[in-house]
Amino acid sequence: RDSMVLLDAAAHAARDRVALVASFDHGTGEAATHAVHLVRLAARRHGIAFIADRAPLAGAGEAAWRDARWR
């Protein structure tokens, strides 16, 4: 929820300075995958480029997901 509010605020306040929106699916289940889909739709609605990635470590745990995100 916080990230979606930030996306909307940035799109309204500084649209010309937003290069793209990025999202990361940690592979924790349907909710995580759906969240990426919602971010993609919001970026499209604002006319902002979108990029996403997904952890290959489904079910591995938060430390492994965080490492994957940073890689």
Q: What is the pLDDT of residue 49?
A: 94
pTM: 0.74
Q: What is the pLDDT of residue 27?
A: 80
Per-residue pLDDT tens over the stretch 34-48: 999 999 999 999 999
Per-residue pLDDT tens over the stretch 8-24: 999 999 988 889 999 98
3-class DSSP state of 27: coil
**Residue 51 near residue 69 (C-beta atoms within 8 A):** no
DSSP annotation of 15 reads G
Q: What is the pLDDT of residue 40?
A: 95
Per-residue pLDDT tens over the stretch 53-67: 987 766 677 787 778
